[in-house]
Structure formats: structure tokens, C-alpha cells
Amino acid sequence: MQAPVVFMNTSQERTTGREAQISNITAAKAVADVIRTCLGPKAMLKMLLDPMGGLVLTNDGHAILREIDVAHPAAKSMLELSRTQDEEVGDGTTTVIILAGEILAQCAPYIVEKNIHPVVVIQALKRALSDALDEVERVSKPVDVENTPAMLRLIGAAIGTKYVAQWSELMCRLALDAVRSVRVGGGLSSGSPSGNAENTSNTATSSDAGIYDSSVPVEIDTKRYVRIEKIPGGDVSESRVLRGVMLNKDVVHPKMSRYIENPRVVLLDCPLEYKKGESQTNIEITREEDWNRILQIEEEQVRILCEQILSVKPTLVITEKGVSDLAQHYLLKGGCSVLRRTKKSDNNRISRVTGATIVNRVEDLKESDVGTRCGVFKVELIGDEYFTFLDNCTDPKACTVILRGASKDILNEIERNLHDAMAVARNVMLSPSLSPGGGATEMAVSVKLAEKAKQLEGIQQWPYQAVADAMECIPRTLIQNAGGNPIRVLSQLRSQHAQGKSTAGIDGDTGKVTDMVEYGVWEPEVIKQQSIKTAIESACLLLRVDDIVSGVRKQE
């Protein structure tokens, strides 16, 4: 008698072999179809209600996929794909999903009908990938990142597909200013995060002179050093980039000054209170005077602490931790304004803009730790909240972008768009090379691959050709979204490329063929490369699967 051997929980859903592959391909296509209409300058918005009841109004591929709830593992992996793209390069998230879906769809018949083994298909895809990347490099051209009008046009093209297109000029400026202000390195004595005095002064002069040497690594950390603050109300045109930092804080004591020019900033990450015992402390006292003495000692401790701070003559003290009433009193008497409980990330940014060093032990405070690069400190009432500004800093290495707008949902979308714009600016500064947009690059790749496919031998040819066909989906979607006639326009475009005009692309507003050199839509080469790479690699990954076990229980 033989007992049945059960490897897996039988209540789980399981599909294997061909069936699994088909189901993966279908899921990937379904996800791609959801966001197909969000590509290009005539993109539609999607309105999503998230589980918490919040509203998301967007056409950013990643933001949409993040909100929707999917059950199929392949679809989940597609969402992951857009997240990678978003983190790697920040733009092109819609493109990558559409491409991956289309590549899988094009490969499907070879696997399902022609019965080609997935490994063969994958080999062909990998080959197509490396040829595609070469072709992208060929059609790309270098750009001068110090050329402001050219940079603005470039960012404008990325923003042109977004909701903020109506304020395009302003948004481009914001993005460019923000990214430029956090750039360090590149021919300069790079990396002075908290900036000591001599170092900063020579950074200032050389970056103003525009010396830019691509041999030294450039660091542009927009995530850490660019903060976007959204204040509902006002008009979008009032948005601006501060040459400094803004915090949603007020001074701790109403009598402290709310306006200081050229403040001397001391940055701390320790509490300004008497030191409590590390662990629970018990004190036994027998005499009444001892109790008074204890209080006195505590008071003295705080006084000494404040005197040590005041010895470097600061006018503004900012700490991450608390400030006791007594410390407030002493610091107020010493003529300081005090901010407390700032965030660690804010402190880092303040350090970059003012040149102050974050000090942990007050005893160690030195003159060189004091930040003096800030032009003005002021606290303003906007709406019914107080906001602190550290503005007009000389050569700030961090910044705050203040966004104003009618409502929270709109501001959130503007923020996402600004992120895309900054990503584009950042990418170009890191690797100054541009590819033609409007589907031109994809079409060039498609034509090239189709040509090469003919020289391939054996069955690899078909899946290779499938990638070539799949690449056409970007120009096709652009034409469709602009209301053009995909079949006719696409064949026009294809013939132009066959004649060697690799900059011919789609005018996203009319859906006609135009030359991108005149039309002026260019995108960073890294974004194009990354989207092709991610799309093909994830297609390979999904094709390799022949067994799907989903842990979700079957409904009884």
C-alpha cells in the first residue's frame, strides 16, 4: 500500500507548463493595456481611489500601477518593473511596461503555436537586446549640460506629457534650478557634504565659472537634498526654488526674533535639557535641602550647556531633539532664536545650505562648526501655519522647492511631474547624451533589428524579429493616443527610417511623422537604454517560468 505523496498545499492554485506561460503573457499584456493610454503628450489621466479612501489623479505609469491591486504573480512582477525604472532613472515607467507587455505578446505565438523552447526564445531576446542598445547609442548625440535653453527644452519635452504642461516653462526652471543647486563634483574638488569653509568658497567660484569636467564623478542626490514642500492655496505660478531650506516650524518661544539677517547657525542633534540617567535611576534623599540641591544641579547643567553654546555667538540654534523651558530662557537672553525637533533629513539639508556642522556634544562646539552662509532667517505665516525659511544662502548644496496649487491632489500630481523633470535633468547631467523622442529611437531600433533578423539562421530569427515588431508599439501608441491612423503613419515612418533618417518620429499632437531635430523632443539616452533593458530582461524572466503556484487560497 502506497500513501499519496503531497509536496504542496493542495488548497493553493497551481498552473504548469504551457498553461503557465500563456497565463503569464496574458497577465503582462493586461497590465500593459491598462496604462497604454497614458503615453505621450496627449495622455489621459487616471483617477484612482486608494484603499485608504485617498484620491490619486495621475498619468504617471508608476504611480498608477502602485495603486492598483493585482493578484496574478506575473502582473505583480510587472509592477515591480515600473518601480525599478522609477528608482533607476525616474522617467519612462509607462514606456517600459508597454514594451515588456508587447514583447511578450509578440513572442507568444512562437512558444504556444510553434512550440519553440523558451530557452531559445530567451537567447534570441538577449541577442536582440545587445543589438538594440548599440543602435540606441548610434542614434544618440551628446549635449552640453551648461546650455540652459537646450536643457530647458529637454526637460520641457519630459514635462510635455504631463499634467503640468500648462506651466511648462516655470516647472522646467524649477527642476533645472533644483538639480543644478545640488550638483557637486564634476571637475570641482568634489564631495563636501557639510562643506567646510575653504572648500566651499572655491566650489562657489569654479561652479559659477561653469568649469565642468566629466572625468570626475558628479554626485546629484535629488532624493536626499531636494525637498519638495507642498502648500495648498495660492497659485501654481507662485512656486519657486529656495536658495536654502524651508521647514514647517516656528521658533520655540514667542519672544524670539523671527527675522535675522546673516544668522550664525548652530546645528545640534542633542537635547538641550538636563541629562537624565541612562536607565531608570532611583535617588534616595533624607534631607529636604538635598532635594533643592538636586534641582539646582539640574538647573546649573542646563545653564552651562547654554553658556557653551552662546560662547560661539550664534543667533540661531537648531536641534533635532527637545529644548527645555529653562534652556529656552537662557538662549533667549543670549539673543538666539531656537528651533527644535527638526527631522534628521532636514538637519542634513540645513547643514548643506548654511555650512554648519551638526554637533552632537555641546562641549565640542567650535567656531568652524557655525554656519554663516545663510542670507536670511525668517518665520512667516502662510495660511494658518508658521513656516521657517533659511533663504538666500551663498552656494547652497541643497534646496527646497515650494509648490503652490489649488488642491492637495493637484499638488501631489505636480510633485510627481516635477520628480520626472528632475530625473531627466539629473540623468543628462550624469551622462550628457540624448536620444530622439517621439518613438524615433524605438523605430530606429526596430528597423535595425528587422534588418539583422534576416541574417540570422535557424529558429532564433523569429523571436528576434518579434522584438523588432514589439519596438514599434511605442510610435504606434503615440499615434493612437494622438488620434492618428496607426497603419498609414507607421508605414511612412518605417520607410523614412529605412532610408536612414533615424531622427524621424511622431508629432505627438497631430499624430504625423516629423523630424525630431526640428520638432525638438529629445530624451536622455540612459532612460531609453534602461527602458529597453528592463523590458527585455523582464520578458525573459517571465518566459523562463513554467510553474506558477500562487499562495492565495482558492475560494471555497
Ligand X SMILES: Nc1ncnc2c1ncn2[C@@H]1O[C@H](COP(=O)(O)OP(=O)(O)OP(=O)(O)O)[C@@H](O)[C@H]1O
Q: Which residues have a catalytic role annotated?
A: 60, 93-94, 420
Residue 156 binds ligand X, judged by CB under 6 A: no
Contact 252, 340 (CB under 8 A): yes
List the end-to-end C-alpha distance of the chain, in Å, as a whole number.
31
Q: How far is the CB of 146 from ligand X (least distance, A)?
A: 24
For position 463 contacting ligand X by CB under 6 A, the verdict is no
C-alpha cell at 251: 521658533
CB nearer to ligand X: pick between 157 and 179: 157
Closest of 200, 201, 29, 120 to residue 461, by C-alpha:
120
Candidate ranges 85-93, 138-146, 355-363, 541-549; the one touching Mg ion (CB under 5 A):
85-93
The nearer residue to Mg ion, 342 or 529, going by C-beta atoms, is 529
Query: Could you say whether residue 91 binds ligand X (CB under 6 A)?
Result: yes
Measured from the CB of residue 442, what is the shortest distance to ligand X in angstroms? 7
Cα gap 25→109, rounded to integer Å: 11
In the complex, what is the shortest distance from the CB of residue 444 to ligand X, in angstroms, rounded to a whole number? 12
**Residue nearest to Mg ion as judged by C-beta position:** 91
Which of residues 91 and 442 has its CB atom nearest to Mg ion in the complex?
91
86 touches Mg ion by CB under 5 A: no
Shortest distance (Å) from residue 400 CB to ligand X: 24
Q: Between β-strands 259-261 and 376-382, what pairing exists: parallel, antiparallel or unpaired?
A: antiparallel
In the complex, minimum distance from the CB of residue 429 to ligand X, in angstroms, rounded to a whole number = 18
**Considering the rule CB under 6 A, would residue 502 count as an interface residue with ligand X?**
no
**At 539, which amino acid appears?**
A
Give the nearer residue to Mg ion in terms of CB position, either 74 or 479: 479
Q: Does 91 bind Mg ion (CB under 5 A)?
A: yes
Residue 508 makes contact with ligand X by CB under 6 A: yes
Q: Among 72-80, 90-98, 229-237, 249-257, which window interacts with Mg ion (CB under 5 A)?
A: 90-98
Of 224, 256, 227, 236, nearest in space to 386 by CA = 256
Interface with Mg ion by CB under 5 A: which range of 3-11, 35-43, 91-99, 438-446? Answer: 91-99
Report the C-alpha gap between 84 and 258 in whole angstroms. Answer: 44
- Does residue 525 touch ligand X according to CB under 6 A? no
Q: What residue 533 binds from Mg ion, ligand X, none (CB within 5 to 8 A, per partner kind)?
A: none
CA dihedral of 2, 6, 11, 15, whole degrees rounded to 10: -110
Least separation, in Å, of the C-beta of 151 and ligand X?
A: 16
Q: Which stretch binds ligand X (CB under 6 A): 35-43, 114-122, 209-217, 491-499?
A: 35-43
Q: Which positions from 220 to 249 touch ligand X by CB under 6 A, shown as an x/- string?
A: ------------------------------
Q: In angstroms, what is the C-alpha Rg of the chain?
A: 29
Q: Is 503 in the site for ligand X (CB under 6 A)?
A: no
| Partner that binds at residue 41, options ligand X, Mg ion, none, CB closer than 5 to 8 Å by kind | ligand X
Residue 484 found at the interface with ligand X (CB under 6 A): no
CA 393 to CA 396: how far, in whole Å? Answer: 6
43 contributes a contact to ligand X by CB under 6 A: yes
Could you give the CA distance from residue 173 to residue 421 in angstroms, rounded to a whole number? 10
Q: Is 438 in the site for ligand X (CB under 6 A)?
A: yes
Measured from the CB of residue 533, what is the shortest distance to ligand X in angstroms? 14
CB 24 within 8 A of CB 101: no
Q: Which stretch binds ligand X (CB under 6 A): 57-65, 129-137, 270-278, 338-346?
A: 57-65
Show Cβ contacts of residue 512 under 8 Å, excluding neighbours closer than 6 positions: 484, 489, 506
Size of the site for Mg ion (CB under 5 A): 1
What cell numbers appear for 147 in the block?
A: 546650455
| Among 73-81, 83-91, 263-271, 446-454, the segment contacting Mg ion (CB under 5 A) | 83-91
Q: Which does 369 bind (CB under 5 to 8 A by kind): ligand X, Mg ion, none?
A: none
The answer to the question of residue 504 lying near ligand X (CB under 6 A) is: no
The CB-of-506 to ligand X minimum distance in angstroms stands at 5
Which of 518, 477, 467, 475 is closest to 493 using CA atoms? 475
Partner from ligand X, Mg ion, none contacting 443, C-beta within 5 to 8 A by type? none
Piece in contact with ligand X (CB under 6 A), picked from 58-66, 137-145, 348-356, 360-368: 58-66
14-32 burial, b at 16+ Cβ within 10 Å, e below that, comes to ebeeeebbebbbbbbbebb
Residue 390 main-chain phi, psi, to 5 deg: -115, 95
To Mg ion, the closest distance from the beta carbon of 473 in angstroms equals 16
Please report how close the Cβ of residue 95 comes to ligand X at its closest, in angstroms: 3
Coil, strand or helix at 56: strand
Q: Are 546 and 21 in contact (CB under 8 A)?
A: yes
Tell me whether residue 23 or residue 431 sits nearer to Mg ion (CB atom): 431
Name which of 374 and 440 has its Cβ closer to Mg ion: 440
- Binding test (CB under 6 A) with ligand X, winner from 164, 478, 539, 548: 478
Angle at alpha carbon of residue 475, lines to 470 and 481, rounded to 5°: 115
| Distances 277 to 60, 109, 274, 281, 483 between C-alpha atoms, Å | 51, 72, 10, 6, 72
> 24, 77, 140, 161: which one contacts ligand X (CB under 6 A)?
161
> Parallel, antiparallel, or unpaired for β 522-524 and 433-436?
antiparallel
Cβ-based neighbours of 379, under 8 Å, separated by 6 or more: 250, 251, 258, 259, 386, 387, 388, 389
Secondary structure tally for the chain: helices H, strands E? 19, 22
DSSP string, 171-229: HHHHHHHHHHHTEEESSSS---SS--HHHHHHHHHHHHTT---TTSPEEE-HHHHEEEE
Residue 422 interacts with ligand X (CB under 6 A)? no
Residue 413 contact, options ligand X, Mg ion, none, Cβ 5-8 Å cut-off depending on partner type: none
Which residues contact residue 6 at a Cβ distance below 8 angstroms, ignoring those fewer than 6 apart?
none
The 3-state DSSP class for residue 14 equals: strand
Question: Could you list the residues that contact Mg ion (CB under 5 A)?
Answer: 91
Question: Could you list the residues that contact ligand X (CB under 6 A)?
Answer: 38-41, 43, 60-62, 91-95, 157, 160-161, 420, 437-439, 474, 478, 506-508, 521, 523
